[in-house]
Amino acid sequence: MQPFIQPPSGDLEARSPWSVMDEAKEVLIGKSSAPIRGDIIVPGSKSLTNRALIMAALAEGTTRIEGLLRSDDSYWCIQSLKQLGIAVKVEGDTAMVEGCGSKWPHVSGEIYVGAAGTVARFLPAALAASMEGFWTLTGSKRMSERPIGPLLKALEEQGAGLTYGGAERCLPFTLQAHGLKGGNVTLPGSTSSQFISGLLLAAPYAAEPLVLHIEGEVVQREYVEMTLEMMLTFGISPEVSSDGSVIAVPKGTYRAQDIQLEPDVSTCGYFWSLAALTGGRIRTVGIHADSTRQPDIMLLGVLERMGCTVIKGNGFVEVQGPERLEGGFELSMRECSDQTLTVAALAPFASGPISLKDVAHIRHHECDRIAVICTELRKLGLTVKEAEDGLTVYPGVPAPALLDSHDDHRMAMSLSLIGMMSGDIRISNPGCVSKTCPDYFDRLIGLGLDVQMR
Ligand SMILES: O=C(O)C1=C[C@@H](OP(=O)(O)O)[C@@H](O)[C@H](O)C1
Ligand SMILES: C=C(OP(=O)(O)O)C(=O)O
């Protein structure tokens, strides 16, 4: 075990005022001696929050959003909209957004998107849809490395002028808006579903109806469905071909709404896992498992396969952990790939190896998630086999270690699960949880876990 506390690391500029633990250099989670039990209400979905904010900004009229997530990703979304001259008033988890009908009040300026993939990929088309404007988009160091090229290429073809401050077709860039032409546009589905969602969000404002042709299978297709569903809520009905590869978006204007957002199912995954690992019981309130569009609900199927009992109630989901988790199988995580790290953290405690596949794209997330989870699990003395599109984790007993979150909220939250099972595990730079769940560690304390910040 390394004796020294590491200096603070990570891209602290990307932390927002809604982050609560920037000072923490590391977290130590004590071994849990009892099954974890509790009922919790998880904050709003990041994906729903940022879609709702951007559609509300593009709409005509004032939208009321309830159940908003207050985290770095939504903070940078709101700040970006404010930079564009949109009035956004936030009280608790309610936001009032004055829409601009795609005529952004501030026609120039610099917009910082933090580390939020949803803001970096959802805003450019919404900017390009305006008839005038000249904006520079910048983001965290990692966001400047993450792919966005296919979306920017499509926007250039649609009429936007783009110049690059660093590498070609990456952040930072300056976008000159001339409106979107519409007509046929092609985007690949294999790197990120966010390119498709980003173009769809702005598509109703194109000069001609826009027809999006998707090349190849979409990683996490359900996020595209989530976008289409919210477009419908705001009054626009795209038509999808029977094989899903062509989406025709009619011209129109979003109409302001009063909407209530669901809790973040991706965040629920860590809490369900606490129950799964300890033979406990966690009920997350506010989730309708059968109707949610959040793809990480599919983690419930994985937990059942691992021997958990899952109760899908009316407005809640409850997970009860077994005596011992089952392993010895292979899973495609393509459709709920944000949970790959969660399952990798559960796997050492299962009865047999678990192989996770079809997630090559997560190498382009907050860090190279496949390489990094393998590195961190190996530091614990565990056996892991890395593949191009996933990994296999073997059962084992984790040894004490100092682990690195790699400034990735999902790494920090997943590694905390191992910490709780093993004790003597420290995680450096834990403050990155603020990307989606700023009070994550306080919530663990609330469930009776021994969590020390240093
Ligand atoms: O549209 C969204 O809200 C998201 C899409 C997914 O991204 P990719 O399709 O880029 O993997 C997911 O990983 C991310 O957390 C949220
Ligand atoms: C991939 C993620 O985020 P982003 O929206 O930045 O892509 C994530 O939250 O796991």
47 CA closest ligand 1 atom index? 3
The answer to whether 193 is a known ligand-binding residue is yes
Q: Within 10 A of 49 (CB to CB), how many other CB atoms are there?
A: 27
Tell which phi-psi region holds residue 311, choosing left (phi > 0), alpha (psi between -120 and 50) or beta.
beta
Contact assessment for residue 267 and residue 287, using Cβ atoms and an 8 Å cutoff: no
Spans in the chain with pLDDT lower than 70: 1-9
pLDDT given for residue 3 in this prediction: 42
Q: Is the ipTM of this complex over 0.90?
A: yes
Amino acid identity of 286?
Answer: G
Laid out side by side, the sheet with 425-428 consists of 401-404, 425-428, 26-29, 451-453
pLDDT computed for residue 2 by the predictor:
44
| Ligand 1 closest atom vs CA 46 | 3
Tokens 């392993």 appear where?
A: 327
With 0.95 as the threshold, say if the pTM is over it: yes
CATH superfamily of 46-260: Enolpyruvate transferase domain (3.65.10.10)
For 8-28, how does the pLDDT look when each residue is reduced to its tens digit (9 = 90+)? 568 999 999 999 887 789 999
With respect to CATH, is domain 12-43+328-453 assigned 3.40.190.80? no
| Pairing state between β 354-357 and 329-332 | parallel
CB atoms within 10 A of CB 252: 15
Same fold, 12-43+328-453 and 46-260: yes
What is the model's pLDDT at position 24? 87
Q: Where are the domains of the chain?
A: 12-43+328-453, 46-260
Residue 338 falls in the annotated catalytic set: yes
Residue 435 assigned ligand-binding role: yes
Determine the distance separating the centroid of ligand 1 and the alpha carbon of 197, expressed in angstroms: 9
